[in-house]
């Protein structure tokens, strides 16, 4: 007769942690993976997305209706104040900001910043890994997997216990090449000085928010803005501060170019494979021989220089 083997200390710890995650999630009304039907959002073997109706392989690009409603409510008074400052009706001002956001996103491309060592690992793995998989953030970036899991759940409805590889990869959108502008340079360099440009088709599987999502929303505690599908983004992708704010930023001006925000964060849903890379640009220094050979083997072009 087969006897059951006693659970190891590690097994017991994993069970306790799993129970803790479930209980904590239920207390906060968060979603668990039990209701997650990832099979509804497949990606074919050739890398093409099979579902482009607002969601991708690894989750929705559109913020949840609850989050969008909260953002609408939070922005109503400040949008009205800016409309009045421009001597415009609220609907007219809102349309103007929406049009500016859409025009900027139409001109923008997607990038991910890494360092040379991380690029080597990406080329070896054949894909970008999420922060949850690497369990590390770039220098200067906030990393709290528990906090980010709760943020992604509140904003997109991604289960707090979703598979680590199924989460978004974070990058940025720019209408001015790998360096959107002076405001962005220092912030983006904290992630690395290698700018990986993605192919245009990934824009339909990305969401954007002008500035850092975690900082703007205080880890999902404050509905100041909403990540919006890149090709359908509107004023809700901006934090709308009052005109009476200490250093007021007119949403209409901010939305007119990615240069006017610290950076426009992009969240790429469905993963990023080597075949999704359009070009790699080294803003400082140049790749060593091994990295050059890896890029060549992957068929990825590269360049170097300030821009």
Mean pLDDT on 142-166: 87
More confident residue, 202 or 59: 202
Q: How confident is the model at residue 277 (pLDDT cuts 50, 70, 90)?
A: very high
Answer whether residue 33 shows pLDDT above 70. Answer: no
* Angstrom distance (rounded) from CA 225 to CA 69: 11
Q: How confident is the model at residue 32 (pLDDT cuts 50, 70, 90)?
A: very low
* High-pLDDT (> 90) share of the chain, %: 59
Q: What is the pLDDT of residues 51-107, one digit of tens each?
A: 333 344 434 578 899 999 999 999 999 999 999 999 999 999 999 999 999 999 999
* High-pLDDT (> 70) share of the chain, %: 77
Q: How confident is the model at residue 40 (pLDDT cuts 50, 70, 90)?
A: very low
Answer whether residue 38 shows pLDDT above 50. Answer: no
Mean pLDDT on 148-159: 91
Q: What is the pLDDT of residues 211-267, one digit of tens each?
A: 999 999 999 999 999 999 999 999 999 999 989 887 778 999 999 999 888 889 999
Mean pLDDT on 10-25: 47
Average pLDDT, the chain: 82
Q: Name, in order, each residue with C-beta under 8 angstroms of 293's C-beta and a sequence gap of 6 or more.
A: none
């Amino acid at each position: 007769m087969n006897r059951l083997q006693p659970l190891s200390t590690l097994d017991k710890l994993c069970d306790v942690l799993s129970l803790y995650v479930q209980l904590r999630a239920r207390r906060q009304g968060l979603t668990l993976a039990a209701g997650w039907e990832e099979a509804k959002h497949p990606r074919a073997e050739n890398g093409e997305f099979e579902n482009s109706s607002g969601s991708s392989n690894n989750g929705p690009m559109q913020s949840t209706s609850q989050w969008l409603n909260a953002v609408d409510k939070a922005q109503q008074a400040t949008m009205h104040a800016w409309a009045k400052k421009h001597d415009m009706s609220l609907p007219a001002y809102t349309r103007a900001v929406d049009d500016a956001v859409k025009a900027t996103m139409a001109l923008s491309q997607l990038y991910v910043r890494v360092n040379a060592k991380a690029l080597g690992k990406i080329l070896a793995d054949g894909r970008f890994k999420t922060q949850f998989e690497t369990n590390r953030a770039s220098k200067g970036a906030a990393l709290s997997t528990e906090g980010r899991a709760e943020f992604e759940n509140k904003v997109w409805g991604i289960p707090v216990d979703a598979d680590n590889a199924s989460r978004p990869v974070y990058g940025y959108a720019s209408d001015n090449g790998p360096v959107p502008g002076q405001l962005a340079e220092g912030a983006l360099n904290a992630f690395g000085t290698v700018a990986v440009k993605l192919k245009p088709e990934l824009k339909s599987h990305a969401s954007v928010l002008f500035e850092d999502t975690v900082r703007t929303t205080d880890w999902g505690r404050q509905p100041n803005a909403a990540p919006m599908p890149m090709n359908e983004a509107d004023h809700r992708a901006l934090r709308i501060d009052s005109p009476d704010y200490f250093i007021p930023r007119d949403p209409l001006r901010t939305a007119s170019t990615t240069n006017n925000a610290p950076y426009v964060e992009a969240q790429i849903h469905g993963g990023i494979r080597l075949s999704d890379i359009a070009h790699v640009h080294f803003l400082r220094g140049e790749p060593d021989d091994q990295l050059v050979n890896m890029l060549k083997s992957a068929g990825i072009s590269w360049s170097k220089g300030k821009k």
